[in-house]
Every structure is written in C-alpha cells, then in structure tokens.
Structure 1
Amino acid sequence: LGGAMVKFVPVEFTLGLRSKILRNGLPLDECHFPTDKIKGVFHLAFYVDDEIATVATFFPKNYKDDKELGYQLRGMATDTPFVGKGYGKQLIEFAVEYIKKTNAKYIWCNARATAIKFYQKLGFEISSEEFEIAGVGPHYEMILKLKKI
C-alpha cells in the first residue's frame, strides 16, 4: 500500500521521533508527556508508504487565561529525510479541520525558535517574548486562530 497519508495513532507511535528529533535520543519511556492520556488528546502521524515521517500531539488546553477553548500542539517532529517536503504542513492542516469540529477557537504551541517560519507560513502568530526551555533552547508561544468552517 503506497502513498502518503495522515492517520490517528496511539501515543507509542510518536515516541520514536520525539526521542530522535526533540529529545536527543532519550529512552522512549522518557519521551511521554503528562498530557498524553488526557481526555480529548489525539496523536497524528504522517505516513509515507509504511514509514512515519512526521508526528504531533494535540490536546484541549486553553492558552493562559483565555476563556475560549483552545488546543495545544505539542511534540511535533519530522524525521530528517522528510524535512521540507510539506508533510508537517499537511499534518497541521488535517488537525485544524478536525479541531474545527470541536468548539475550539484556536491552536497554540511553544514553538522552537528554529521552527517559527514553518508555523508562520501556516498562519500562526507569535504571542510572547522569546523564552528558554531548559535543555531545549529558545521558544516562542504561537497561536493559530481557527476560522469558522
């Protein structure tokens, strides 16, 4: 079965890329997030043939004191050979369509400084000063406002 597609996957399918790309090869059992099993969480993988190219996790979490429902994007990672091929963009677009079916008004994330341009191309806007995440590096909070379908 060839081709490329986004699929909903169990969290275990995201850990390999989280480890390799985001956590400098930490053991897989140390790559779980506290939010991986909460109500409303979902994990996506972009498959190219049978290989996972990109992963990301989304869960209901409001941005700071915002009263409107939002989803946080976390753990987005693309495997090295697949960078720049548009798979991350397609995965986000899939998630946006899915999240629009909830009552959420926006998606937000803590974006690595190196990923700012990627998120901006998708319509995310920077919503904070630069801040440091220990052991990971400089980040910005970014928000994508969801337009009504």
Structure 2
Amino acid sequence: MMEVQIITAEEVIPLRHDVLRPHQPREACIYPDDALASTFHLGGIKAQQIVAIGSFSEQSHAQAPGATYQLRGMASSEDVRGEGYGRALIEEARRLLKERQVTAWWCNARVTALPFYERLGLERVGEPFLIEGIGLHYVMIDRLDDK
C-alpha cells in the first residue's frame, strides 16, 4: 500500500510551487487557510520523498451545497504520475473527512485534471471559469455519503 500521511503546511509548498505555480512567486503558494487548525495537508510518500500533495480546508461553496471542505493545491510529481499516488491521497482524505462527519467536499479542478476527478467519482457542477494566470476550471464535488 502507498504511504499517505498528514504533513505540515510548509511541506506542501515546494511541490505546490513546482507543479501548480512554477511561474509565480513562491509566496503565491501559501494559501490563507493553510495554518488554520481545521485544515489538514496530506502527502504521498515514496522513498522518503513527498511526491503528491493535497490540502483540505473548511470552506463551503454555493455551487456545492452541503460540501464543507475544499481541496486545494492537489499535485503530484511528474515522476510518479500514473502510479496511483493521487488516488491514494484522495482515498485517505475521504477517510479522514468521514471521521470528521463531513458529507461532501469540493475543489476547483483544472480542465486537464477533470478525467482524474471523474474517475474518482466527483461530479462537475456549474459552468467553466477562468483563474487568471492558471487556466480554465470547473467546480467539482465529492458526496461522501454516496461512497
């Protein structure tokens, strides 16, 4: 089984920067909710290296009724894409969120990531929207009471 564990906010920054925002300053990779007590960060570990990340913070969304957590900064190193680290990370997040009695979570998914999230059972809601400097996104929701 792949190792996925809780990591610190500081530990997500290098991969967030390298994969998600390489042309922006490192400070752009620090999100306002990173340090909140209700936020948790997960890391997929391979050979003692963090190769996949995702951060979950308490945040509702009008298009995702009932969803109380948001996934931000989901990324995996190019070296491990397709090895299942992203899936393992989402499965661990689902387990932790269910422990917190969370019934749904959501994310802003890049268009390029839609197939990944759809394979995991998330549903697309609303119209596509542009995040300046990053690209086209959709809101996607994962209803945990269905799983």
Question: 1:130 aligns to what SS in structure 2?
Answer: strand
**Cα distance in structure 1, aligned partners of 2:124 and 2:66:** 18
How far apart in 2 are the matches of 1:80 and 1:41?
A: 26
Superposition pairs for residues 102-113 of structure 1, below 5 Å?
A: 102-113=100-111
State the 4+ residue runs in structure 1 displaced beyond 2 angstroms. 25-30, 65-69
Q: Which residue matches 2:121?
A: 123
Q: Once the 2 structures are TM-superposed, how far is the Cα of residue 38 of structure 1 from its aligned partner?
A: 1.9
Cα 1:127–1:84 change in 2 (3 A) is same
Superposition CA RMSD, Å: 1.8
Gaps of 5+ in 2: none
User: Does 2:13 match 1:19?
Assistant: no
Deviations 1:73-99 (Å, cap 9, x if unpaired)? 000010111111111000000000110
Identify the residue that residue 93 of structure 1 maps to in structure 2.
91
In the superposition, the TM-score normalised over structure 1's length comes to 0.91
Secondary structure at the aligned position of 1:35 is classed as coil
Q: Compared with structure 1, are the counterparts of its residues 50 and 106 closer, same or farther at alpha carbon in structure 2 (3 Å cutoff)?
A: same
In the TM superposition, residue 103 of structure 1 has moved relative to its aligned partner by 2.4
Secondary structure of 1:46 counterpart: strand
Is the partner of 1:100 in helix, strand or coil? helix
The counterpart of 2:140, out of the listed 132, 142, 145, is 142
Cα distance in 1 for residues equivalent to 2:91 and 2:79: 21
Aligned partners of 1:69, 1:112: CA distance in 2, in Å? Answer: 19
Q: Decide whether the 8 Å contact of 1:69 with 1:103 is kept in 2.
A: no
When the two structures are superposed, what TM-score results if normalisation uses the length of structure 2? Answer: 0.92
What is the CA–CA distance in structure 2 between the aligned matches of 1:68 and 1:143, rounded to whole Å? Answer: 10
The amino acid across from 2:144 in the alignment is: L
Task: Provide the residue aligned with 1:78 in structure 2.
Answer: 76
**Cα drift, residue 4 of structure 1:** 3.7
Identity over aligned pairs, percent:
36
Q: Distance in 1 between matches of 2:55 and 2:18?
A: 16
Structure 1: stretches of 5+ with no match in the other structure: none
Match of 1:37 in 2: 35
Partners in 2 of 1:40 and 1:92 — Cα distance? 17
Aligned length: 147
8 Å CA contact 2:6–2:41 kept in 1: the answer is yes
